[in-house]
Amino acid sequence: MDISLLLKMAADAAPDRVGLTCDGRNWTYAELWAAATGAAAEITRSGCSHVALLDTGSEAAPIALIGAALATLPYCPLNYRLADADLAALLLRIEPAFIIGDVARVQKLAPESSHKVFARADFVAAAEAAAVPEREAGEGESVAVQLFTSGTTAAPKAAILRHANLASYIFGAVEFGAAEEDDAALMSVPPYHIAGIAGLLSNIYALRRIVLLPAFDPKAWIELAAKEKATNALVVPTMLSRIIETLGDGSDAPDLSSLRSIAYGGGRMPLELITRALELFPHCNFTNAYGLTETSSTVALLGPDEHRAAHRSDDPKVRARLASVGKPLPSIELEIRDEDGNVLPPGVAGEIYVRGDQVSGEYRERSALIKGGWFPTRDAGYLDEEGYLFLSGRADDVIVRGGENISPGEIEDVLLTHPAIADCAAVGVPSAEWGEAVAVVIALKGEHPGEHEIKTLIRDRLRSSRVPERILVVETLPYNEMGKLLRREVRRLLATS
């Protein structure tokens, strides 16, 4: 079973219903299915190893996503906003790829490559021409989607989602054909974001027409929502803020009364903003979703009734839930744990761990799942007494040196590029001058390169504030039995040696 089944079911159950509206053209489920089967034939014929999209959102995204599944290749939508050098590095990692979108840019960045590149319109036309709509859904069980996470200094990680992860998320969260015939979901998140992929799949499975806004702009969003009578929308907090700002006092704004449901996620929602939104759209259902790329999108959500209850309540505890991300999905197990892996009681902050069939926790290079199939999200948070989840930032132990926030990860990533360094950890240690200074503990797999070489490596790759003031060599780094690095123990090693 692969994710092409989701579109196949929609096309079988409602072939003539419109599933997608983009740039003024409507696509029925049967037309989308036919194009996806044709895309699969073209992709297979190309002999490529990946299917990439280097483009804004359009009909090409679902056609390529399902086409790649049918061709049993990973679909890798790329961030077209990346700088040339970063994009060029990603293009190298997926070669040879069947790339849809910006032909000129690929030719400029990878002139000697074996990529096959197609402009959007050419790809869609070829896919429609090669359609074999009578074929069955695919049986692939491998990688459905490969998404590059945004790397800061080290190379981005290639997160992979298997067909089973995505399908399990959709089956667990969406009821087939649940949408009314006149429902329409306005999608404005970029196609290279997990929400852009989950949004395509869940709306197709719900038989809810997708209205695509290729690139977000508040005025265009408002106009398209009014014109297409959108009933549902997904936004990130900054989008909602800009929409509300553009609506102004609402006196001459287009009619948005069709909007019944707004979901938001992907960042911290300021309390003032959601309160303002609830007042501005009193008849709209608001849903806050929390999820990660590695978890196939949503793992916890705060539903419309909970929003209203929190908004109206006089009880500060209930009111506070407006700033929570709600409760875990029924198909997800979620725990808050301390550094030793112990489960923490309500009210105590720690790292958020999740487990479930939709959780991949897997990268091209390695799996981040630990014992028992749990995924440490690296997000920090706590649960209240009734199980509402509150986020409190990344669990990374940030080092604050002279007011500058330094992520240990960026230093560790660079250290690990050294051939003699097997493992390492960077932590903050007390410093009279800086408040905290950087110290690193390393385990070697070769001859000690010498402190000077290590410091030079960090200085050249990062900057001088990241250069460790102390370097300690150990046999092995301290891990708990769940396989998680114990930074507290690392600090103790530094303090006692």
Partner 1 sequence: MKAGMKLKSAVCDTEVLLVKAPQAGTLSCGGAPMVAERGEKGDIDPAFAEGTKMGKRYTDAAGTLEVLCIKPGAGSLAFDGAALQLKDAKPLPSSD
Site residues (vs partner 1, CB under 8 A)? 1, 5, 8-9, 12-13, 137, 141, 164, 171, 173-178, 185, 195, 198-199, 201-203, 206, 208, 232, 234, 261, 263, 265, 285, 287, 289, 297-298, 301, 303-304, 329-330
Q: Cβ closer to partner 1: 99 or 234? A: 234
Half-sphere exposure of 391 (CA within 13 A, CB side): 26
Strand locations in 115-216, DSSP E?
A: 116-118, 143-148, 158-162, 184-187, 209-212
Which residues 6+ apart lie within 8 Å of 138 measured at CB? 2, 4, 5, 69, 70, 72
CA–CA gap between residue 223 and residue 221 (Å, rounded):
6
Residue 260 or residue 470: which is nearer to partner 1 going by CB?
260
Minimum gap (Å) between residue 405 Cβ and partner 1: 31
What is the smallest separation between the CB atom of 167 and partner 1, expressed in angstroms?
8
Q: At what angle do helices 194-205 and 60-70 cross, to 10 degrees?
A: 80
Residue among 79, 209, 82, 199 at smallest CA distance from 146: 79
Could you tell me whether strands 285-292 and 297-302 are parallel, antiparallel, or unpaired per DSSP bridges? antiparallel
Q: Which is nearer to partner 1, 207 or 467 (CB)?
A: 207
Tokens of 48: 């490529």
Q: How far is the CB of 62 from partner 1 (least distance, A)?
A: 13
Nearer to partner 1 among residue 8 and residue 321 (C-beta): 8
- Is the Cβ of residue 267 or residue 430 nearer to partner 1 in the bound state? 267
Tell me the CA end-to-end span of the chain in Å, nearest whole number. Answer: 55
CA distance 445 to 453: 16
CB of 272 to partner 1, least distance (A): 22
Smallest gap from Cβ 474 to partner 1, in A, equals 43
Helix (H) or strand (E) holding 425: strand 421-431
Q: How many CB atoms lie within 10 A of CB 444?
A: 16
The smaller minimum CB distance to partner 1, of residues 46 and 232, is found at 232
For partner 1, the closer of residues 210 and 442 by Cβ is 210
Residue 282 or 330 with smaller CB distance to partner 1: 330
- Pairwise CA distance, residues 134 & 33, whole Å: 10
Shortest gap between Cβ of 304 and partner 1 (angstroms)? 6
Could you tell me which residues come within 8 angstroms of residue 103 by beta carbon, excluding any fewer than 6 positions away?
A: 117, 118, 119
In angstroms, give the least distance from the CB of 298 to partner 1.
Answer: 5
d(CA 59, CA 27): 8
User: From residue 235, how far is each of 238, 239, 262, 281 by CA, in Å?
Assistant: 8, 6, 7, 14
Distances (CA, A) of 111 to 53, 89, 115, 125, 415: 18, 13, 9, 25, 32
**At closest approach, how far in Å is the CB of 433 from partner 1?**
48
For the bound state, the minimum distance from the C-beta of residue 138 to partner 1, rounded and expressed in Å, comes to 11
DSSP 257-318: TT--EEEEESS---HHHHHHHHHH-TT-EEEEEEEEGGGTEEEEEE-HHHHHHHHH---HHH
Return the number of the residue (156 or 196) whose C-beta is nearest partner 1.
196
Q: Which is nearer to partner 1, 117 or 184 (CB)?
A: 184
**Residues in the chain, overall count:** 497
Smallest separation, CB 133 to partner 1 (Å): 15
